[in-house]
Each structure stands twice: as C-alpha cells, then as structure tokens.
C-alpha cells in the first residue's frame, strides 16, 4: 500500500512537471486519454483516488475523535459542576444544623437573661425600700432643722428691720443737709460764672467790631483802586477804538464821495433835468412806462433792513450830444427803457442765484440730515449689536454655568449614591460575617453541650458509639433525591429552595405547638424574631434527643469556616450559573 501511495506521488510530481498533463483535481478515477492535450502514454489514477479517499476517512476519524474528546470534557465539566452543587448543598445542610444549634443556644440565653432580670428586680426592690426609709427619716430631720432655722431667721429679720429704719433716718437727714449746702454753693458759683462770662463776651464783641471795621475799610480802599484802574483802562481802549472807527469812517466816506462824484460826472444833464421835471410833476403829459415805474419806486415805502447787500443805485448811461439833438423824444424813451431791462435781468439773475443757493443749501442740509441720521442709525445698530452680543454672551455663560452646576450636582449625587451603596454592601457583608461567626461559636458550644448530654445519658458508650449514632441518623429526602439523579447546574441552583419551604412549614408548625405551653414575653419575642428569617429543619418532639440532619461522611466536604467568611454566596451562585 505504501508503494502504491509513493508511485501515485511520483506520478503526480511527473504530471506537475509535464505541461500537457491535467491537474490532480481531474484524476479522481477518470482517464485523461480523451483530452486534447494527451501526448504521453496512458496512466491509471485509481490509486490516487483511493489514497485521497483514505486520507479523507482518516481525517473524518480524527474529527470524530476530537468531537468525542470535546464531549467528554464537557461531560467532565458538567460532572464537576454537579459535584460543586452537591458540595454546596451539603454545606447548606450543615449551616442549617448550625442555625438550629444557634436557636437552642439563644433560647437558653433568653431563659438565663429572664432569671437574671428577675433577680435584679428583686435586688432593686430591696434597695429601693431601704432608700425610701432613709428618705423618710432624713425628711423628718430636715423639717425639724428647717423649723429651727425659720425661727432664727424671723428674729434676725426683726433686728435687721430696726437697724435699717434707724440707718435710713440718719441717711435722710444727712442728705437734706448736704442738699441745702449744695444749693447755696451752686447759686454762688452760677453768679460768679455769669459775671465772668458777661465780661468775656463784651471784650470779645469789642475785638470783633474792630476787626470788622478794619476789614470793611480795606475792602472800600481796594474797590476804589480797582474802579480807578478799570476806568483808566476803559478810557484808553475806548479812545483807541473811537480813533480807529473815525479813521475807518473817514476812509469809507471819502471812497463813497469819490465814487458818487465819478457817477455824477457821467450823468447827462438834459436827461437829469427831464427826470427831475417828471418827478416834480411839472409836466402834464402822460408819463411813459419807465416814468410810472420810477414814480412807483419813489413813492413806495423803503423795505426793511436785511442782512444782504443793497441794490446798486439807479444809473443812467451817458448819452452823446448828437443823439440827443437828433431825436429828443424817441431816443430818450429808448435810453430810459434799456436800464429797466438791465435791472430786470439783474433782478431775475439775482433771484435765480438766490433760489439756486437756497436749493443748494436745502440739498446740503438734507444730505447732512440724512448723513447724520445714517450715522445715528449705524451707531444705534452697532450699539444694539453690541448689547445683543453682550446679552448672548451672558446667556451662554449663564447656560454653561448652569450646565456645569447640573453636571457637578449629578456627579456628586452619583458619587454619593455609589458611596452609600458601597457602605450598605460593606455593612451587609460585615453583618453577615458577624452573624456567621456568632452562629458558628454558638453552634460549637451547642455541639459540645449536646455531645456531653449524650455521654451522660449513655455512660458505657464512648466517642465511637456517639459518632456511629450520629452517622446512623436518617438522611433528608431532598439530599437523596438530588444525588440520585443527574441534573444540570441551572436546575440545581434554581430548585434548591423548594424542599426548604416544606422545612419552614414544619418548623413553623413545631413552633406553634411549643408556643401553646409557653406564655412568657421572652418566648414570644424569640418566636417573632425567628419567624421568617431562619430556615430550620423539623424537630421530633417524641424522641429523647434532637434529630440532626447529617451527611454520610463529615470529613468529605468539610473545608472549615474560612471559605464562608471570604466568599460571598451571590458570587458563588453567579459562578455556578
């Protein structure tokens, strides 16, 4: 078989080197003689297929072996879990026995405490009676002493009253004499003080009057000097200003006179005479439009003085002598209408200039007003934006502070809750450990007393007989059922409380039967204390000694009490689950 496998391997290697050969995947029992690339001789591939099938079978067997090993390990782990659960059940039964011994020890301690309380009560009653007798005798003695002291106090009070009355009379007379002397002394001192104060006040008044007169005299002299100096300065300034004003007026008047003389020299004498005749009304002919306008201008009231420049005076253009002699009537009218048109054009031009200036002024004012309004609006907008940013910043800061406070408060609450939870867990653990330690000590004492009572009842038997009797005790049905059949870890954990309920009911029934004969407060307190907290096995009242549930071998699952002190039951349950 090995030679066949080696030959198949050689063939496969040669096929891999051959370019015309098919790959090994096509050699599963099929011939390649019908292929297009068949060049070499025919090779049988059945051995290769058989070897591949053998390899597959071997791999299948290996997988099956691995699966069996894995299943075996799983079964072993389940068995270990079952053993742990069984060990836990045995330990729990031992704890139940320990709790029963604790209960009996507690009952004995309650009886002892009741007897001690009774003895203490009797002793306290005797002491109280003795104390009451002593109090009655001391009260009688105190009353006698108090009567004697009261009589002495009344006598001393009478003597003291007489002494006080005489002393008061002496004090009253002395005070009256001193009051009269003090009144005369006060009157004399007041008179002397008044005369001295009057003289000092007059002297001070004369001194103040002299000082006031000197001050007023100095003020008048200073005022006079200041007035003379101001008058001199004002006179000098006024004369200088008056001289300058006169000089300016003289210059202006000379300029105006020279200007008017030049204007008068340029006036036509004939036209001036004609104008004067028209003004005086000497001529009866109808006036021309120019004459009417001139007359209206002359008769019109002068306008109010304004802050503008005055109109220039009416000027007549000079006429040549030849033109005046040629046409004395028509040319004069033309000469008179030309200045009127010129004045009208000047007036229109001035009016337009004034209107344009007014429009320009109004436009500038409007632009200035708009610019001021825009600047005010921009400044208000900036101020509002700044205030809005400030308010937003304040709101963000307040929100951030509020969130920070909330986060800190939540963290503090969480830390406080964690600390309280840890403290509660620690207290619960310490309470459980203390109860276990106390129960273990009481159970050990109870076992010792129980073993001693058994020895006393059976003096001929030894320790071996006692151990045999303890081993021969009936086992609990729950343990037999649990160990007889195979169960899973979850079923064992979640079903271990069911048989305990029956025990609780039996223990309650036993307590009810025992409480019918016990009417004391201690027994009722004992029953209420262990009514719903502890799970106790059934107690046989017919037997001479107590029946305790034990396992077959005490040393089989006995690991001591250190494991119960260190490991928590909830953690063990979590590991089992």
pLDDT, one tens digit for every residue, the chain (577 residues): 444 444 554 544 454 444 454 444 444 444 444 444 545 555 556 677 788 888 888 888 998 889 889 888 889 888 888 989 988 888 888 888 888 889 888 988 889 889 989 989 888 998 998 899 999 999 999 999 998 898 888 888 888 888 888 888 888 888 888 888 898 888 888 889 888 889 999 999 999 999 999 999 999 999 989 888 888 888 888 888 888 888 888 888 888 888 877 776 666 666 666 667 776 765 444 445 555 555 555 455 544 544 444 444 444 444 443 333 344 444 444 455 677 787 887 788 778 878 888 888 888 888 888 888 888 888 888 888 888 888 888 888 888 888 898 998 889 888 888 888 888 888 888 888 888 888 888 888 888 888 888 877 765 444 445 455 445 544 444 433 334 344 443 344 344 444 444 444 444 444 444 444 444 444 444 444 344 444 333 333 333 333 334 444 444 444 444 444 444 555 545 544 4
Residue 422 structure tokens:
């840890």
**CA trace torsion 131, 136, 137, 141 (10° rounding):** 130
Residue 466 tokens read as 């006692």
pLDDT at residue 200 in the model: 92
Neighbours of 306 (CB within 10 A): 7
Q: What is the DSSP letter of 29?
A: S
Q: Tell me how far CA of residue 453 lies from CA of 206, 440, 545, in angstroms.
A: 130, 20, 9
Tokens in use for 252?
């202006």
Q: CA distances (Å), 262 to each of 253, 259, 275, in order? A: 14, 5, 19
> Hunting for tokens 């070499």 — which residue is that?
40
CA atoms within a 13 Å half-sphere pointing along the CA-CB vector of 517: 4
The alpha helices in 266-319, defined as continuous H runs, are: 269-280, 289-299
Which residues touch 114 (CB under 8 Å, ≥6 apart)?
Answer: 520, 522
Tell me which residue of 297, 262, 300 sits closest to 278, measured CA to CA. Answer: 297
454 and 447 Cβ atoms separated by less than 8 Å: no
- How many whole angstroms separate alpha carbon 145 and alpha carbon 137? 13
CB atoms near residue 204 (< 10 Å): 10
Q: Which two tokens stand for residue 62?
A: 């290996």
Cα dihedral: 502, 508, 513, 518 (round 10): 160
- C-alpha distance from residue 540 to each of 33, 290, 500, 503 (Å): 95, 162, 17, 13
d(CA 576, CA 81): 7
pTM of model > 0.75: no
The DSSP secondary structure of 386-449, one letter per residue, reads HHHHHHHHHHHHHHHHHHHHHHHHHHHHHHHHHHHHHHHHHHHHHHHHHHHHHHHHHHHHHHHH
Kindly report the length of the chain.
577
How close are the terminal C-alpha atoms of the chain, in Å? 53
CA-wise closest residue to 336 among 284, 295, 282, 301: 295
User: pLDDT tens digits for 175-222?
Assistant: 888 888 898 888 888 889 888 889 999 999 999 999 999 999 999 999
Are 101 and 446 contacting, i.e. CB atoms less than 8 angstroms apart? yes
Residue of 4, 87, 17, 81 lying closest to 49 (CA atoms): 4
Residue 268 near residue 316, CB atoms below 8 Å: yes
The helix (H) or strand (E) run that includes residue 162 is helix 46-265
Q: Which of 567, 565, 503, 568 is nearest to 538 (CA)?
A: 503
> Contact 510/476 with Cβ under 8 angstroms?
no
The answer to whether 48 touches 23, Cβ cutoff 8 Å, is: no
Radius of gyration of the chain (CA): 72
pLDDT of residue 219: 92
Contact of 441 with 106, CB cutoff 8 Å: no
- What is the C-alpha to C-alpha distance for residues 136 and 130, in angstroms, rounded to an integer? 10
Closest residue by Cα to residue 30 from 4, 49, 51: 49
């Amino acid at each position: 078989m090995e030679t066949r496998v080696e030959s198949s391997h050689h063939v496969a290697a040669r096929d891999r080197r051959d370019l015309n050969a098919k790959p090994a995947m096509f050699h599963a029992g099929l011939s390649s003689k019908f292929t297009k690339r068949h060049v070499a001789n025919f090779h049988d591939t059945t051995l290769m297929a058989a070897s591949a099938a053998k390899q597959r079978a071997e791999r299948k067997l290996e997988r099956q072996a691995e699966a069996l090993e894995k299943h075996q390990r799983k079964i072993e782990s389940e068995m270990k879990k079952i053993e742990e659960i069984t060990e836990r059940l045995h330990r729990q039964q031992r704890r139940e026995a320990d709790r029963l011994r604790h209960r009996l020890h507690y009952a004995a301690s309650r009886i002892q405490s009741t007897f001690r309380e009774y003895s203490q009560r009797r002793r306290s009653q005797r002491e109280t009676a003795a104390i009451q007798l002593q109090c009655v005798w001391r009260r009688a003695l105190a009353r006698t002493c108090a009567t004697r002291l009261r009589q002495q106090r009344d006598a001393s009070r009478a003597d003291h009253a007489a002494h006080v009355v005489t002393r008061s009379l002496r004090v009253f007379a002395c005070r009256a004499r001193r009051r009269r002397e003090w009144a005369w002394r006060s009157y004399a001192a007041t008179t002397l003080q008044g005369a001295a104060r009057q003289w000092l006040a007059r002297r001070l008044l004369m001194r103040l009057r002299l000082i006031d007169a000197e001050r007023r005299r100095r003020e008048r002299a200073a005022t006079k000097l200041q007035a003379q100096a101001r008058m001199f300065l004002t006179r000098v300034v006024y004369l200088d200003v008056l001289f300058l004003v006169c000089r300016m007026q003289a210059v202006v008047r000379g300029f105006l006179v020279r200007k008017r003389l030049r204007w008068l020299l340029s006036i036509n004498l004939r036209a001036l005479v004609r104008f004067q005749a028209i003004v005086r009304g000497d001529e009866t002919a109808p006036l021309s439009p120019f004459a009417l306008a001139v007359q209206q201008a002359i008769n019109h009231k002068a306008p109010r003085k304004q802050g503008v420049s005055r109109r220039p005076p009416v000027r007549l253009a000079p006429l040549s002598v030849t033109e005046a002699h040629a046409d004395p009537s028509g040319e004069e009218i033309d000469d008179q209408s030309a200045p009127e048109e010129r004045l009208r054009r000047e007036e229109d031009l001035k009016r337009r200039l004034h209107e344009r200036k007014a429009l320009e002024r109004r436009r500038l004012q409007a632009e200035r007003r708009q610019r001021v309004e825009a600047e005010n609006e921009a400044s208000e907008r900036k101020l509002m934006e700044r205030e809005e940013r400030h308010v937003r910043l304040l709101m963000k800061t307040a929100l951030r502070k509020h969130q920070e406070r909330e986060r800190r408060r939540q963290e503090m609450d969480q830390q406080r809750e964690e600390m309280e939870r840890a403290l509660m867990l620690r207290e619960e653990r310490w309470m459980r450990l203390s109860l276990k330690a106390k129960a273990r000590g009481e159970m050990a004492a109870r076992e010792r007393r129980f073993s001693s009572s058994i020895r006393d009842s059976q003096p001929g038997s030894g320790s071996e007989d006692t151990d045999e009797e303890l081993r021969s005790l009936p086992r609990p049905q729950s343990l037999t059922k649990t160990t007889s059949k195979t169960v899973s870890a979850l079923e064992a954990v979640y079903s271990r409380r069911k048989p305990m309920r029956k025990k609780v009911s039996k223990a309650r029934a036993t307590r009810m039967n025992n409480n019918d004969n016990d009417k004391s407060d201690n027994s009722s307190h004992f029953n209420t204390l262990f009514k719903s907290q502890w799970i106790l096995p059934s107690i046989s009242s017919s037997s001479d000694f107590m029946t305790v549930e034990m396992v077959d071998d005490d040393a089989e699952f006995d690991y001591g009490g250190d494991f119960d002190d260190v490991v928590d039951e909830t953690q063990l349950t979590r590991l089992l689950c």
